[in-house]
């Protein structure tokens, strides 16, 4: 299993540009999550999904959108990039069971200038 | 609302020193508790987790954590650190439920000097 994969690894955007961060998992997990990680701030939940077709906002959803058309994929869309969105983005997935463990992807480092 | 506090933001130790990283959470119900580690340039990996039962939990690489319900704490310990333990450590809490959302602390950056 590849686990959770994310593309791209790095990206530089200009203010106002749009992009989609891709996330795919091959573990047949129902639950998927997007976090952003900023220095000294830990991880903040942006959006999450409990299954295909079902998404909901986390702590910091403004400026982002998501969709979940399949179990495997959970892309994160930035419509109008702003400098405040400079961050490292992590996708994670889990299977709601006794373990509750979330498995993380390698991250995407995004810079908006 | 749930929250997690990690009081040590940056810790510097020499090899073979003992480690204890503090984690306190606020949540009145049943919780699931986790410690994740992020090595330089890598993604988060699970170190250990607590769901129920024995409050002393052992994880990978010689780490352990003790859940003390009365203190709302879940401190991470290791008797003797190695240079390879240099990483950022995150405590996280999950109140269960249908969404499995994790609330993370702000992290503790550990630097182990050889």
**pLDDT at site B43:** 87
Evaluated on CA atoms A18, A48, A106, B88, the torsion sign reads positive
**pLDDT at site A97:** 62
Residues A31, B42: C-beta atoms closer than 8 Å: no
**pLDDT at site A104:** 94
Residues B99, A101: C-beta atoms closer than 8 Å: no
Of B32, B24, B21, the closest CA to residue B72 belongs to B24
The span from the CA of B63 to the CA of A78, in Å, is 38
Mean pLDDT of chain B, nearest integer: 92
Residue-wise pLDDT for B33-56, tens only, equals 999 999 998 889 999 999 889 999
Chain B residues near residue A96 by CB distance under 8 angstroms: 98, 100
**pLDDT at site A62:** 96
HSE of B12, CA atoms in CB hemisphere, 13 A: 2
**Closest to B104 (Cβ–Cβ): which among A42, A48, A100?**
A42
Residue-wise pLDDT for B66-105, tens only, equals 999 999 999 999 999 999 999 999 999 986 666 778 899 9
**pLDDT at site A52:** 94
Of A93, A86, A89, A94, the closest CA to residue A106 belongs to A89
**pLDDT at site A100:** 73
- pLDDT in 10s for each residue of chain A, 113 residues: 789 999 999 999 999 999 999 999 999 999 999 999 998 888 999 999 999 999 999 999 999 999 999 999 999 999 999 999 999 999 999 987 656 789 999 999 999 99
């Amino acid at each position: 299993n590849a686990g959770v994969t994310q593309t791209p690894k790095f990206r530089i955007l200009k203010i106002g540009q749009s992009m989609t961060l891709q996330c795919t998992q091959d573990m047949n997990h129902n639950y998927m999550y997007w976090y952003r990680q900023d220095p000294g701030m830990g991880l903040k939940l942006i959006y999450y999904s409990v299954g295909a077709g079902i998404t909901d906002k986390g702590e910091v959803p403004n400026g982002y959108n998501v969709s979940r058309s399949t179990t495997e994929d959970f892309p994160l869309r930035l419509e109008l990039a702003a400098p405040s969105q400079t961050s490292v983005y992590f996708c994670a997935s889990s299977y709601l069971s006794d373990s509750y463990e979330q498995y993380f992807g390698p991250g995407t480092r995004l810079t908006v200038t | 609302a749930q929250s997690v506090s990690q009081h040590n933001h940056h810790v510097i130790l020499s090899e073979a020193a003992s480690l204890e990283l503090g984690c306190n959470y606020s949540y009145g119900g049943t919780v699931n508790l986790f410690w994740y580690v992020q090595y330089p340039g890598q993604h988060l990996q699970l170190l250990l987790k607590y769901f129920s039962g024995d409050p002393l939990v052992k994880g990978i690489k010689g780490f352990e954590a003790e859940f003390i319900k009365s203190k709302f704490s879940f401190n991470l310990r290791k008797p003797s650190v190695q240079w390879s333990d240099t990483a950022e450590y995150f405590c996280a809490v999950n109140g269960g439920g249908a969404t499995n959302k994790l609330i993370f602390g702000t992290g503790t950056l550990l630097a182990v000097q050889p």
